[in-house]
Every structure is written in C-alpha cells, then in structure tokens.
Amino acid sequence: MNRLILPIFAILLICISSIPLEEVDADDDEVIKARVTNDSGYSFTVKEGTAVKIKMISAVDNKGENQGYYDLRAISGTHWSDSSRKVGATSTVNYNDDVDRYEIVPTFYSGYLDVEFQLKTVTYEDSPTKYVIICVVVMIAIAGLVAISGRKPKFE
C-alpha cells in the first residue's frame, strides 16, 4: 500500500494540472528599446493579453549588475513598480483606445538621479504546458521506481 501512495500523488498532479491547462500559441518576441532619463519619460505599448519583460540597465556604467527582469501581465489600470540596488522605476499600465494596445508608462523615482535607464521590453506568450508535462513525467517515473522497488528478487 505504501508504494501506491506516490503513484496516487502523481495522478493527483495530472488531474490538477489538466483542469486549467490552456494552449497558448507562441508568438515572436517583440523588442522595444528606449533610453530614457528622469526628465524625458517614455511610454511604450504592448499587445493585449501579453506579458512584458522589462530590463533596466544603468546607462552610467552599463553593467548587468544594475539590471532587473520583471514581468507583468498587462491589465488596464494596474500599477507596477520595482527597485533594485541602483535603479528604481514605477510603471502604469493603461489601455490606449487610439492604438488598440496597452500602454506602459514608466515614471522614475530612483534616488540616483544621474542614472539613465535603458528599458527593453520583450513581449512574449509562453505556455507552461511543457514544464507541467516534465513534472508529470518525472513524477510517474519516480512513482514507477518506487512501485517496482518492492518486487521479490528473482533467484536463478
């Protein structure tokens, strides 16, 4: 009976993951680069229902250590902000009727006023389906190993 519990959990995982599973067509990444300062400001738009990844790089030293990846789902009226060691940014997501796209407006509040930011947005549509499948396959494999572990050895 003990050996059956792990397979039961594997089946449970399959059941739970299969309920909300939705296929999402992969789309080509859309990359928008913009160099902004505290004064200039910049807004950029993304397609409806997609997620964006914002990469902030300090333009002063142009080092990767001052960068951060943040992803969010574009929902009208939502606010997003984050800060790291040297960079900090707040963005507002709004729906723009004119262009039929969501608009992300970054407003900066960084304490380092001399820092410029390079914002890179990557619009992506990625489905976690394959990762769920990996989890399920690993679980089934391990459950199978546990199940066969109690077999009586064959003596020839």
3 near another protein, rule: CB under 8 A:
yes
Q: Which of residues 116-135 bind another protein (CB under 8 A)?
A: 124-128, 131-132, 134-135
SS3 13: helix
Q: Does 84 bind another protein (CB under 8 A)?
A: yes
Q: Least Å distance between CB 125 and another protein?
A: 6
Nearest to 71 by CA among 86, 96, 91: 91
Q: Residue 29 CA to chain centroid, in angstroms?
A: 13
Distance, in Å, from the CA atom of 154 to the CA atom of 7, rounded to the nearest integer, reads 24
Select the residue interacting with another protein from 31, 35, 40, 85 (CB under 8 A).
85
Which tokens in the block code for residue 73?
A: 């789902």
Question: Interaction with another protein in 46-75: which residues (CB under 8 A)?
Answer: 49-51, 53, 64-65, 67-73, 75
Cα distance between residue 91 and residue 84, in whole Å: 15
Distance CA 116, CA 112 (A): 9
The residue count for the chain = 156
Stretches 3-11, 40-48, 95-103, 112-120: which one binds another protein (CB under 8 A)?
A: 3-11
The two tokens of residue 89 are 């940014």
| Chain contacts with another protein (rule: CB under 8 A) | 2-3, 5-6, 9-10, 12-13, 16-17, 19-22, 24, 49-51, 53, 64-65, 67-73, 75, 78-85, 90, 124-128, 131-132, 134-136, 138-139, 142-143, 145-146, 148-151, 153
